[in-house]
């Protein structure tokens, strides 16, 4: 899996940073991808990336501020005009359904693919064969959520040498054995695949925060995550201003990651007041507290 940042700015786009959108490529698990927020111009950013609109399975919207949703109607309608028929599930706070349906209706637009819109609250959104996704409420002037994506543990490595030693030869049933299932071999023997598996491989955990001031929910949302994506809208010297508008400073983002025992922090959602030459200074503020911090730039790619 990998994270691709399509937009890393806050509030308004700048020449160096578009507004918020993040793509999660599920390669290695399944063929699709998920999108987190869809600020204005996201589809233009997608055109400059490896993201395939036809492979989008799900879109998660953290909150209804324009820099997180104004690109959504355009992306959906362009997807239709390009003849894509695969459906999408859209998750977002109450009001997202009205926003999408009104935008399509007033613009005389329509969709050629199934669109399921799920208006969310705090709690588990879904759990399938690969992932569990949970929404956590954040502290912002409008209803806002962060998402914890937990990959289920995977079966351990199949001990092929031991199978061969027990007279079980490679064949069409090996795939079932790799999943730990019990199968009946062609010679009639019943083989329990779990007896030939090594220790389970722990799944990865990713925490993606929406806009937020420091919040009590952060400890559960980010707890021991492999990667945390968190806003750092303003520098430490402007912390009071950041918090007053429902945002966090660099130092607050880094402190949260440290307290949550996260493995890596990626900061994003930087104010347009900061130019590229300011980035190292903001990153240094984070690393002074949490050394395993990276800063996202538009089109930055982070393997998970």
One digit per residue, the tens of pLDDT, for the chain of length 304 reads: 999 999 999 999 999 999 999 999 999 888 899 999 999 999 999 999 999 999 999 999 999 999 999 999 999 999 999 999 999 999 999 999 999 999 999 999 999 999 999 999 999 999 999 999 999 999 999 999 999 999 998 877 877 788 788 777 777 777 777 777 888 877 778 888 788 788 888 999 999 999 999 999 999 999 999 999 999 999 999 999 999 999 999 999 999 999 999 999 999 999 999 988 899 999 999 999 999 999 999 999 999 9
Q: Does the annotation list 211 as a binding residue? A: yes
Q: Does the annotation list 63 as a binding residue? A: yes
Return the pLDDT at 250: 98
Domains of the chain: residue spans and CATH = 2-153+202-303 (3.60.15.10), 160-196 (no CATH)
Q: What is the pTM of this model?
A: 0.90
Is 67 one of the annotated active-site residues of the chain?
Answer: yes
Please state, as a whole number, how many other Cβ atoms lie within 10 Å of the Cβ of residue 156.
15
* Set 37, 67, 128, 226: catalytic member: 67
Q: Does the annotation list 269 as a binding residue? A: yes
Phi/psi region, residue 22 (left: phi>0; alpha: psi -120 to 50; beta: rest), is: beta
Burial of 118 (0-12, 13-18, 19+ CB in 10 A): middle
Q: Are 23 and 75 in contact (CB under 8 A)?
A: no
């Amino acid at each position: 899996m990998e994270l691709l940042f399509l937009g890393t700015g806050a509030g308004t786009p700048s020449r160096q940073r578009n507004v918020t959108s993040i793509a999660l490529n599920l390669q290695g698990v399944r063929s699709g991808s998920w999108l987190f927020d869809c600020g204005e111009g996201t589809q233009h950013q997608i055109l400059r990336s490896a993201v395939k609109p036809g492979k989008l399975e799900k879109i998660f919207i953290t909150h209804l501020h324009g820099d997180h949703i104004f690109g959504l109607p355009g992306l959906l309608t362009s997807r239709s005009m390009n003849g894509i028929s695969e459906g999408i599930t859209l998750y977002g706070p109450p009001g997202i359904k009205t926003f999408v349906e009104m935008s399509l209706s007033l613009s005389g637009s329509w969709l050629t693919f199934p669109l399921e819109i799920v208006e969310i609250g705090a709690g588990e959104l879904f759990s399938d064969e690969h992932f569990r996704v949970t929404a956590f409420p954040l502290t912002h002037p409008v209803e806002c959520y962060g998402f914890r994506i937990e990959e289920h543990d995977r079966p351990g490595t199949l001990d092929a040498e031991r199978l061969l030693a027990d007279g079980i030869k490679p064949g069409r049933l090996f795939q079932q054995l790799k999943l730990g299932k019990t199968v009946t071999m062609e010679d009639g023997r019943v083989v329990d695949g779990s007896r030939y598996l090594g220790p389970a491989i722990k799944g990865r955990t990713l925490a993606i925060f929406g806009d937020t001031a420091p919040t009590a929910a952060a400890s559960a949302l980010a707890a021991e995550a492999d990667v945390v994506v968190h806003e750092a809208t303003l520098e430490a010297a402007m912390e009071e201003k950041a918090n007053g508008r429902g945002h966090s400073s660099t130092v607050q983002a880094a402190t949260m990651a440290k307290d949550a025992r996260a493995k890596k922090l990626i900061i994003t959602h930087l104010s347009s007041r900061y130019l590229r030459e300011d980035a190292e200074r903001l990153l240094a503020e984070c690393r002074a507290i949490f050394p395993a911090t990276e800063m996202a730039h538009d089109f930055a790619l982070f393997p998970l």
